[in-house]
Amino acid sequence: MQRLETFENKYPQRDYTITIVNDEYTSVCPMTGLPDFGIITINYVPDQLCLELKALKYYFLEFRNQGIFYETVVNKILDDLVAACQPRSMEVVGEFTVRGGLRSVVKTSYAKIENR
Q: Which residues are catalytic?
A: 29, 36
Question: Which residues does 37 contact at the CB level (< 8 Å), separation at least 6?
Answer: 24, 25, 26, 96, 97
Dihedrals φ, ψ of 62, to 5°?
-65, -20
Half-sphere exposure of 105 (CA within 13 A, CB side): 3
Dihedral sign of CA atoms 53, 111, 2, 72 in order: negative
Question: Which residues does 15 contact at the CB level (< 8 Å), separation at least 6?
Answer: 45, 88
